[in-house]
């Protein structure tokens, strides 16, 4: 899986480099109407969530990515969301549709705690 991620990063780098080559027609273009995806990511590594506190606007999708060598389960205190057991390189996403402070933890390792603040 890490080789695939490395390959995708390499492909993205090559695409950007090709887009920067001077010429009459751009090889890669983005129109003014295109917007980047609204999202935030939290990395799970060394038995911790990073960043531990995430601040996002309403409607943001937060994605947790397990970079640890052991499984983790992302679960909110209020039972609003809960992932399956995430193995290495697995991810889980949740879209926050209402403002508030959402605390969460790893249900396998309950000392792992963090929060998402939605404004």
Q: pLDDT digit string (tens) for 41-62?
A: 999 999 999 999 999 999 999 9
Rounded to whole angstroms, the Cα distance separating 74 from 61 reads 14
Domain ranges of the chain: 37-119
| C-alpha atoms less than 13 angstroms from C-alpha of 34 in its C-beta half-sphere | 5
Minimal CA–CA distance to 93: which of 41, 35, 54? Answer: 41
Q: Which residue do the tokens 């080789």 mark?
A: 3
Q: Evaluate whether 41 touches 64 at the Cβ level (below 8 Å).
A: yes
pLDDT tens, position by position, 70-86? 999 999 999 999 999 99
Pick the CATH number of 37-119 from 3.40.50.2300, 3.40.50.1240, 2.60.40.420, 3.10.20.440: 2.60.40.420
């Amino acid at each position: 899986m890490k080789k695939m991620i490395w390959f995708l990063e390499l492909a993205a780098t090559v695409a950007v480099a090709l887009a920067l080559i001077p010429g009459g027609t751009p090889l890669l273009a983005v129109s003014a109407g295109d917007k980047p995806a609204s999202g935030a990511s939290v990395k799970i590594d060394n038995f911790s969530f990073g960043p531990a506190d995430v601040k996002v606007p309403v409607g943001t999708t937060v994605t947790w990515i397990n970079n640890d060598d052991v499984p983790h389960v992302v679960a909110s205190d209020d039972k609003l969301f809960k992932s399956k057991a995430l193995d290495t390189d697995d991810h889980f996403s949740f879209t926050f549709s209402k403002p508030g402070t959402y605390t969460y933890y790893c249900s396998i390792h309950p000392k792992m705690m963090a929060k998402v603040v939605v404004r």
